[in-house]
Amino acid sequence: MEIYSGKSVYGGIAIGRLRVFTGSESQVKRIRIDDTAAELERLEKAREKAKEQLKQLYEKAVREIGEASAAIFEIHAMMLDDSDYIESAENIIRTQSVNAEYAVSVTGDNFSNLFSTMEDEYMKARAADVKDISDRLLRILCESPDAFDSSDEPEIILADDLAPSQTVQLDKEKVLAFVTVHGSSNSHTAILARTMNIPAIIGCSVKLDSSLNGKTAVVDGGSGRLYINPDKDLLDEMRSKRSEEIEQQKLLQSLKDKEDITLDGRKIRLYANIGSLSDIAAVFLNDAGGIGLFRSEFIYLGRSSLPTEEEQFQIYRKAAETLAGKKLIIRTLDIGADKQADYLGIGQEENPAMGCRAIRICLTQPEIFKAQLRAIYRATAFGDISIMYPMITSLWELKEIHRIADEVRHELLDKGIECGEPEQGIMIETPAAVEISDILAEEADFFSIGTNDLTQYTLAADRQNPRLDDFYDPRHPAVMRMIKRVIDNGHKAGIWVGICGELGADTELTETFIRMGIDELSVSPSSVLKIREKIRNSRMNL
Ligand code: PEP
Ligand code: MG
């Protein structure tokens, strides 16, 4: 039995087989080969296999997400037939006598750089496609399993790191646990693991190697341990620990349908955070009162072009309809920093967390913002939708947002399209927004405090940097004081204030937040019932 340690992101026990996902960032070695004919044949076989995979993915996607979204796999298959691309790779093998992996990697980089410098937006977006097909060919050539072409059996995913764009493509039913060698506990991949309610470990000391594929392993998310080839004693111990967890879950289930009310009668709105439509099932299972944060940017990730207004409308409408009158707070596109979409053309930034992200993209590329707002406004006819704007730092941004939103709404009404007048709130996740929260409160319908970013910007500690985990302290007194101040300023202006950052799920602080006057807590679905338990055992007044 081998034992490896890492940092816990989400607790729970998983027992199953390992699958090593090497992803697209793996280093490709340049190896000289003598038999170029054999290498060309390997490339051809890989191409055939990639086309077959894409055909299957296309069929699966048509069934699960519809023809329009599935088309991307058809485009990828067509690109594999593109003679320029394949001829370039063949040429590198022939002229340099090198391995197919190296030839594919160089060709992929060359073509994707070529596309990304083009003026035309459509052609620019093809850069990500070329990268995708090159990665697929590489995975086949390296015989590393494709995390996205899931096997039938749920597995433990072992990866160097996972980008949010990769994580969103995983078939959640097929993932028992995540273990990554790198990554930070405050990253969006970690947040996704919590939303998916699966054990997860980061910073694990295991050495990735394809020979680990298929080996039996145990992940103990709580203690941050990974056991490979566990012995019988450990398996027995973990099985009984898992049974205890299930018992605890059952106990929490008895809190379903109970009110979120303190011992002295203060009602708290307890909502859930989601990243996709498929998370709504967990919202119901855990009996959240609504959705306090729909991270809409996940709709924009893991694809190679912008989602259309219609695609987005269908998603928001379905969410609103399914929630049947429960509140749905849609946060507008918060892309940037660790959530990258190449087709937006932001390019490399020196400091992406402080770069062109979130509302800054929306205000500098208003056509993208307007398409999303149109989709949301159209969906307001189907449920109780509110809109929330991320990364606000200034009053002028909010005024400009309102101007654009009003324009969009009136254009729709002029066309005879029904739309409501949703609440429009903002995230308080920058020190600047805290500092002027009294002024912003006059313009916003509600505040939702994003403690993840607020901590990073207040403490000058990059939430993505695992080496800073000891410095990145969301319970820091500076952050706690800011939360109190924002609540007070919001209340003075008569608006409600919630927390949708991960700190909202810190059960040791639930009573503190209630005493500060918090109106709403929005947490990952799996945390809802344990927070309910805390609320019901807390007092607003001493
Ligand atoms: C936050 O910053 O606290 C937040 C909720 O937004 P995200 O984690 O998606 O940046
Ligand atoms: Mg944030």
Q: Tell me the per-residue pLDDT of 139-186, one tens digit each, with 9 for 90 and over.
A: 888 876 554 454 567 899 999 887 766 776 677 778 899 999 988 777
Report percent pLDDT > 90 for the chain. Answer: 63
User: With helix as H, strand as E and coil as C, how does 76-117 read?
Assistant: HHHHHCCHHHHHHHHHHHHHHCECHHHHHHHHHHHHHHHHHC
The CA radius of gyration of the chain, in Å to the nearest whole number, is: 24
Least confident of 221-225, 429-433, 474-478, 481-485: 221-225
Active site residues: 188, 500
H or E, element range at 392: none
What spacing in Å lies between the alpha carbon of 116 and ligand 2's midpoint?
A: 28
What tokens appear for 519 in the block?
A: 């109106």
Contacts of 343 (CB under 8 A, 6+ apart): 121, 124, 125, 127, 128, 303, 304, 305, 306
Q: Ligand 1: residues within 6 Å at CB?
A: 191, 293, 295, 334, 429, 450-453, 500-501
Query: Among 429, 447, 483, which is best to mutate for testing ligand 1, by the most ligand atoms less than 8 A from CB?
Result: 429
Q: How far is CA 318 from CA 137, 138, 272, 275, 286, in A?
A: 36, 37, 17, 14, 19
What spacing in Å lies between the alpha carbon of 186 and ligand 1's midpoint?
A: 9
Amino acid identity of 497? V
Which atom in ligand 1 lies closest to the alpha carbon of residue 453? Answer: 2
pTM for the model stands at 0.73
CA atoms of 177 and 71, how far apart (whole Å): 30
- At residue 75, the pLDDT reads 80
Residue nearest to atom 3 of ligand 1 (CA): 450
Contacts of 447 (CB under 8 A, 6+ apart): 425, 426, 427, 428, 437, 440, 441, 486, 490, 495, 496, 497, 498
What spacing in Å lies between the alpha carbon of 337 and ligand 2's midpoint?
A: 10
CA atoms of 440 and 399, how far apart (whole Å): 10
Least confident of 143-147, 282-286, 300-304: 143-147
What tokens appear for 341 in the block?
A: 């979409």
CA atoms of 111 and 83, how far apart (whole Å): 13
- At residue 57, the pLDDT reads 77
Contacts of 415 (CB under 8 A, 6+ apart): none
Of 286, 116, 115, the closest CA to residue 195 belongs to: 286
383 in Cβ contact with 321 (< 8 Å)? yes
Cα-Cα end-to-end distance for the chain: 52
For 466-503, what is each residue's pLDDT tens digit?
889 889 999 999 999 999 999 999 999 999 999 999 99
Long-range contact pairs involving 205-210 (C-beta distance under 8 Å, separation at least 24) = 205/4, 205/5, 205/6, 205/181, 206/4, 206/158, 206/179, 206/181, 208/20, 208/22, 208/158, 208/159, 208/160, 208/181, 209/20, 210/20, 210/22, 210/142, 210/143, 210/144
- At residue 145, the pLDDT reads 57
CA atoms of 16 and 40, how far apart (whole Å): 37
Query: Among 185, 276, 295, which is best to mutate for testing ligand 1, by the most ligand atoms less than 8 A from CB?
Result: 295
Query: CA torsion 336→342→347→353, rounded to 10°?
Result: 10
CA atoms of 376 and 317, how far apart (whole Å): 8
- At residue 131, the pLDDT reads 78
What spacing in Å lies between the alpha carbon of 187 and ligand 1's midpoint?
A: 9
For 104-116, what is each residue's pLDDT tens digit?
999 988 887 787 7
Residue nearest to atom 8 of ligand 1 (CA): 452
For 337-367, what is each residue's pLDDT tens digit?
888 888 888 888 889 999 999 999 999 999 9
What tokens appear for 423 in the block?
A: 């609440």
